[in-house]
Amino acid sequence: MTKTIQPPMIGFGTFNSFQDDEKVAEAVREAIRIGYRHFDCAHMYKNEKAIGKAFRDAIAAGEVTRERLYICSKLSCEDMAPEDVEPACRKTLEDLGLDYVDCYMMHWPTRMTKESRVVNEAEGGKWEFDVVWSGDRKGIAESYAAMERLVDLGLARSLGVSNFDIRLLGDLLADCRIPPLTNEVELHPYLAQFDLVEYCHKMNVHPVAYSPLGKMGYKSPGQPDLLSDPVIQCIAEETGKTPAQVVLRWNVQRGASVIPKSLTPSRIASNYDVLDWTLTASQTARLDGLDSDCRFVRVDWFDFDVKPPVSVNTTPPGQALIKHGEVDEHGFYRNNFGRAGKHLHTEVIIKRGLLEPEDLAANAKFLLPEKCLNAPIHIITDTVVDKIYGDQVLEGLRAAGLNVHKAVMRSDEGDESGESSTEHHKTMGELMACADLILERGINKNSCIISLGGGVVNNLAGVLA
């Protein structure tokens, strides 16, 4: 069942330093009323019973249905032995009062002994523990294989990991049967982790940002206050938003879900209000420039400073870099791209002169799959290409009797190199605008999306598909 779920972009964190379980439960209930549907839980947080009651009460009150909730939990380090994985998940389900979780994550790439435990709950918790292994490829693969059985049993709809770097994630993707849906890591403008986020997107692993507002409670000596940064304060003033909204939007705009936590109703509501506006390219660049590798969350059982070796292969497994195509009986050169187990399929089609309306009209039935001919078809292009080819492609396909629509994303006439570019408009806002337009015009399971443009347009078309 994994990979069939899209984690909501705005989530709600539930770690509260082992304190005030009932207040956390009240905050969860308030978050549901406001509209949150993504809730990030963990056995390690020791508050799942109280949170589970909040879920049940909200469902009983008709505020939400179970199907609309996306509930995550995590496998603790002391339960990483393969034989302990299923009992640990069942304990979480019992505490939460659920039949399944939407995503069950490996909390840390570290296995502790079964006797390890929290001995002091102050300032985030003090652990008494012994490490069996940390960052060990074989150990991670064995524990994750036991987690895959949870999907087979229907106890988890998908799997995920947390605190995995490129090396660990790449190794796991090569070793696993069910790829992780998510990788939950610390992400904010002071710790942008650009390479890791890019790698996650390339490997179809959805990044989820914990501590997206920095450290809001206790801090280690010398740690900065993210939301007081002058750049963030200035952008907040420019946008009329709060500093918290600015940094949350920054992550959402680059395709990472965020899971801020608050016990204050007004802040819970404010943190949710980051979906219907965008940061400009200039504002995004200024926030990108704050990256200083400043990590707020550090633990004694895992060393974040151990960097992956330069030999790590970040090429998606099983995806060929070069694939030969062929010319069919209609004179079309065709090349197909896809990956085993993936539903989406891309076809590259080339024929000289094909963009002329009369050629499109004559060849449309050969150009597109037969099942698409009676379904709504959507062309995705940009303003520059649209001026040259957009209307003639639309005219040609409509002349063939097809139900075709066009969505145009913004493009700059000339970037720093003097070339036209859509790069600055590769934002969540642009994606959602195109998605809304397509939904308004109509789409069904036989629809196809045609990319008419360069790499950014191709990317957008793929994401929309």
d(CA 156, CA 104): 6
Among the options 36, 45, 104, 190, which is catalytic? 45
Cα angle, residue 280 at apex, residues 275 and 286 outer, rounded to 5°:
110
Whether 272 is catalytic is no
d(CA 194, CA 210): 15
Asked if residue 269 lies in contact with residue 78, where contact means CB atoms within 8 angstroms, the answer is: no
- Find the helix or strand (DSSP H, E) in which 267 lies: helix 265-272
- Residue 38: which of 258, 205, 219, 244 has the closest Cα? 258
d(CA 217, CA 21): 16
Cα 320 to the center of its chain, rounded Å: 24
Give, in order, the Cα–Cα distances in Å from 172 to each of 164, 311, 408, 417: 10, 16, 38, 39
- Residue 260: which of 227, 287, 298 has the closest Cα? 227
Q: Is 389 helix (H, G, I), strand (E, B) or coil?
A: helix
d(CA 23, CA 28): 9
d(CA 364, CA 398): 9
The structure tokens listed for 117 are 């435990």
d(CA 253, CA 426): 9
Asked if residue 59 lies in contact with residue 65, where contact means CB atoms within 8 angstroms, the answer is: yes
Give the residue numbers marked as catalytic.
45
